[in-house]
């Protein structure tokens, strides 16, 4: 089985590649993995075939589709903050490059006389929604993105659904919760603090909390994210009945509940490293984000999230906390 | 005021142009109207500036945007049936051409130092929805198109919302009900019979009814459609609060109720011209269409539909029935 990971150099892409190398996929161990990204860290997962390139460049999508991977994990994206500040880059990478990929896959489908029809797992985002929200967002709630990133994700979902309905590919879009605890350094994303207030204290460092303790958000661990994309890869898409984009399960917690979990696991000394420094700009952005979901379809289809926020913290400690 | 009508040669575009020529717009009578389409009938509305061209061709969107119209009515589209049979043409015209238009308008906005920010009224469709439906589709119901046409409409709506949020344009997308009674000849659209069973008998001709009498659908007259786009042109878009796509009001009726209205207005002899000829293919397509809406936002914003189906029939008689 030939697998292509787009965005293979990213955090989820790396964890996915390592998982596939260790565990295979659906009982199959003879996997050929092509990992594609604009760059890879020196300690990247040891897949045999590491490709450096930009999917938005002419010919790149066509070359990758020409290898006819059986399964494509499409995790590549300009992140939310960058899509907002660099409008051109966001639309070029998060929309036009995806169109080019779908068209290249359709060309392969047609060149094969219809035999080639790859499974495509696309990681979408809860950014496809926009405030105001009901208490819990149901599976039939309006899609109304309020960021360029969210608009681009919705558009790509919609293209994937139509190309799939036509039989050119067999796609599924999964709307990931905010991933937490992200390993590594803090970044400029407005959501960075959700990870930072856990990660930094566990590493003995100070963390900044820019919002109030009663802010609620929808989270999943990187471990769950890898589980989600693998589950999506093996799903019988006939069960989706034409609605090929799914809200995934997650954990809805307030910042106060996050801090309580940190206290339970790492003690008062860790909590003391969180410094409150309100940031009205971040508060405003975060106030527009979803807080809670009732992801009944995804649960019925077997997607499983972390049990609670304690499990999310423990997942970071198990997988990513640098050993002393 | 300079007004550009894209799809100006079509049925709604022609009625809109005539309305503007007769009544002006919002009290303004000094209108410059550019009417653009791939072609015009010999008896087209006498606007001074009739342009023949294809928005999907290179440079066309840029040239039109370069005229800096204050108001753009974007009614141009490959129709539903053709977008389904000609996949390439549908996406080229209904998605990529719209992207080109938005990019061209953004370039003018930027070249003007931000002063140029046109109102764009885009006629979207209830095809952005997909079955199964609730009894009445509310304003926060899921967008899940099940046709290429519906996917392209949703994608264009999403682009327009994001370009508007960024301040490059001031857009609004209005999801028209199925337009009935369409004047002229029957066409190959699966929805053609909704008009045909009224129009043909009123013209003394036989009409084919391919579905059961209890089929329910969501309709508006061409007169209402013109009213909708004009109301959208004058709306304070701040009231949309970031949700720039609206479900419009319409009339929800069964085929049986349509026929009763025809009987009331034109008598038993007209009804006798309807011939039942079940068509499983059309029945299947129509079974996936929306049947009823609760368009509360649009009503609160002042959009008004026909009073009932009798009014829709009367509108055809007043505006379009060929005089004996």
Contact map slice: B 7-66 vs A, CB within 8 A:
none
| Interchain proximity B87–A166, CB inside 8 Å | yes
Partner-chain contact A161 B140, CB within 8 Å? no
> Is B215 in contact with B276 (CB distance < 8 Å)?
no
Residues of A in contact with B87 (CB under 8 A): 166
Residues of A in contact with B172 (CB under 8 A): none
A240, closest residue in chain B (CA to CA) = B144
Same domain, A312 and A167: no
Q: Is B149 a catalytic residue?
A: yes
Q: Are B249 and B299 in contact (CB under 8 A)?
A: yes
**What is the pLDDT, as a whole number, of residue B185?**
85
Query: Which distant-in-sequence residues (6+ apart) come within 8 Å of A3 by Cβ?
Result: A20, A25, A31, A32, A33, A34, A69, A70, A71, A72, A73
Token readout for A142 is: 């309006």
In a domain, B208, yes or no: no
Contact A143 B142 (CB under 8 A): yes
| Helix (H/G/I), strand (E/B), else coil: B5 | strand
Kindly state whether residues A79 and A28 are assigned to the same domain: yes
A159 and A115 together in one domain: yes
Name chain B contacts of A151, Cβ cutoff 8 Å: 158-159, 161-162
Within a domain: A274: yes
Judged by a CB distance cut-off of 8 A, whether residue A97 touches chain B is: no
Same domain, yes or no, for A264 and A315? yes
Q: Which residues of B89-101 are buried (b: 16+ CB within 10 A; e: fewer)?
A: ebbbbbbbbbbbb
Q: What pLDDT is stored for residue A324 in this prediction?
A: 62
Instruction: Suggest the residue from A99, A110, A143, A146 to mutate for an interface test with chain B (most B CBs closer than 10 A).
Output: A143
d(CA A38, CA A40): 7
CATH number at residue A148: 3.40.50.720
Q: What is the predicted pLDDT for the residue at A189? A: 78
Residues of A in contact with B162 (CB under 8 A): 145, 148, 151
Average pLDDT score over chain A: 96
Which is catalytic among the residues B116, B133, B149, B316?
B149
Q: Which residues of B touch A154 (CB under 8 A)?
A: 154, 158
Neighbours of A53 (CB within 10 A): 15
**A310-322 pLDDT per residue, tens:** 999 999 999 999 8
Q: How close, in Å, is residue B214 to chain A by CA atoms?
A: 25
**Are residues A79 and A203 located together in one domain of the fold?**
no
Residue B149 lies in domain: 2-176+222-247
Rg (CA), chain A: 19
Residues A17 and A143 in one domain: yes
Nearest to A142 among B140, B148, B158 (CB): B140
Q: Is residue A300 a part of any domain in this protein?
A: no
Instruction: Assign residue A284 the CATH number of its domain.
Output: 3.90.25.10
Q: Are B218 and B250 in contact (CB under 8 A)?
A: yes
Predicted confidence at residue A255, as pLDDT, reads 98
Which residues in chain A are closer than 8 Å to B144, comparing Cβ atoms? 161, 242-243, 245
Contact criterion met (CB < 8 Å) for B146 and A87: no
DSSP code of residue A293: B
CB contact under 8 A, A158 and B154: yes
pLDDT at B81 over 90: no
Closest CA of chain B from A146, distance in Å: 7
| Residue A42 included in any domain | yes
Residues A77 and A27 in one domain: yes
A212 and A271 co-located in one domain = yes
Query: Closest by alpha carbon to A262, among A187, A212, A200, A182?
Result: A200
Judge whether B116 lies within some domain. yes
Give the angle B144-B147-B148 at the CA atoms, nearest 5°. Answer: 105
Annotate B157-173 with DSSP letters as a single string: HHHHHHHHHTTS-EEEE
The tokens for A210 are 């820019």
- Check residue A48 and give its pLDDT: 85
Q: Mind spelling out the 3-state secondary structure of A226-285?
A: HHHHHHHHHCCHHHHCCCCEEECCCEEEEHHHHHHHHHHHHCHHHHCCEEECCCHHHHHH
Tens of pLDDT, residues B165-199: 999 999 999 999 999 999 988 877 788 999 999 99
pLDDT tens, residue order, chain A (324 aa)? 999 999 999 999 999 999 999 999 988 879 999 999 999 999 999 998 999 999 999 999 999 999 999 999 999 999 888 999 999 999 999 999 999 999 999 999 999 999 999 999 999 999 999 999 999 999 999 999 999 999 999 999 999 999 999 999 999 999 999 999 999 888 777 889 999 999 999 999 999 999 999 999 999 999 999 999 999 999 999 999 999 999 999 999 999 999 999 999 999 999 999 999 999 988 988 889 999 999 999 999 999 999 999 999 999 999 999 876
Residues of B in contact with A146 (CB under 8 A): 165, 242
Q: Where are the beta strands (DSSP E) in chain B?
A: 2-6, 32-37, 49-52, 71-74, 119-125, 170-176, 178-179, 207-209, 216-220, 245-247, 251-254, 274-276
Torsion of CA A265, A269, A274, A276, to 10 degrees: 120
Contact residues on chain B for A159, CB-CB shorter than 8 A: 151, 155
Angstrom distances, CA of residue A183 to CA of A224, A276, A307, A324, B307: 14, 21, 20, 15, 60
Specify the 3-state DSSP secondary structure of B196: helix
Q: Would you call A87 and B139 a contact, using CB atoms and an 8 Å cutoff?
A: no
A133–B contact, CB cutoff 8 A = no
Q: Which residues of A are catalytic?
A: 149
Establish if B159 touches chain A: CB-CB under 8 angstroms.
Answer: yes
**How many folded domains does chain B comprise?**
1
Residues 245-284 of B with CB under 8 A from A: 245
| A146: nearest CB among B141, B151, B242 | B242
Check whether residue A123 and residue A212 sit in a common domain.
no
At residue B324 the predicted structure's pLDDT band, cuts being 50, 70 and 90, is low
pLDDT digits (tens, 9 = 90+) for B129-155: 999 999 999 999 999 999 999 999 999
Contact A142 B143 (CB under 8 A): yes
Query: Is B81 domain-assigned?
Result: yes
Q: Does A257 lie in the same domain as A235?
A: no
Do A203 and A129 lie in a common domain? no
User: In this structure, is residue A181 part of a structural domain?
Assistant: no
Instruction: Indicate if A92 and A197 belong to the same structural domain.
Output: no
The reply to whether A87 touches chain B by the CB within 8 Å rule is: yes
Cis peptide before A181 (omega within 30 of 0): yes
The reply to whether A184 falls in a domain is no
Residue B323 pLDDT > 80: no
Nearest to B158 among A141, A151, A245 (CB): A151
- Please indicate, yes or no, whether the overall pTM of this predicted structure exceeds 0.95: yes
Contact between B145 and A158 using a beta-carbon 8 Å cutoff: yes
Instruction: Copy the structure tokens of residue B18.
Output: 């005539």
């Amino acid at each position: 089985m030939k697998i292509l990971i787009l965005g293979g150099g990213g955090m989820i892409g790396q964890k996915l590649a390592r998982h596939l190398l260790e565990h295979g996929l659906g009982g199959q161990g003879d996997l050929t993995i092509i990992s594609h990204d604009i760059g890879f860290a020196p300690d990247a997962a040891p897949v045999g075939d590491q490709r450096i390139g930009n999917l938005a460049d002419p010919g790149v999508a066509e070359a990758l589709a020409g290898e006819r991977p059986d399964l494509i994990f499409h995790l590549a994206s300009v992140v939310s903050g960058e899509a907002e500040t660099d409008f051109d880059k966001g639309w070029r990478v998060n929309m036009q490059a995806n169109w080019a990929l779908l068209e290249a896959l359709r060309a392969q489908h047609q060149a094969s006389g219809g035999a080639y029809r790859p499974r495509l797992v696309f990681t979408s985002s809860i950014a496809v929604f926009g405030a105001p929200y009901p208490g819990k967002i149901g599976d039939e709630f309006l899609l109304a993105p309020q960021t360029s990133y969210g608009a681009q994700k919705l558009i790509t979902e919609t293209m994937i659904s139509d190309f799939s309905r036509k039989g050119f590919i067999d796609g599924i879009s999964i709307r990931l919760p905010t991933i937490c605890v992200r390993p590594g350094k803090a970044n400029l994303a407005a959501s960075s603090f959700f990870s930072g207030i856990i990660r930094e204290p566990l590493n003995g460092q100070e963390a900044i909390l820019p919002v109030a303790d009663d802010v609620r958000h929808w989270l999943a661990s990187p471990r769950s994210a890898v589980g989600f994309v693998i589950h999506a890869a093996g799903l019988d898409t006939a069960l989706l009945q034409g609605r090929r984009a799914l809200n995934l399960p997650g954990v809805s917690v307030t910042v106060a509940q996050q801090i309580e979990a940190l206290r339970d696991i790492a003690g008062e000394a860790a909590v003391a490293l969180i410094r409150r420094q309100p940031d009205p700009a971040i508060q405003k952005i975060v106030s527009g984000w979803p807080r809670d979901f009732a992801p009944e379809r995804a649960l019925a289809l077997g997607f499983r999230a972390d049990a609670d926020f304690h499990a999310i913290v423990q997942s970071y400690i198990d997988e990513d906390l640098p050993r002393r």
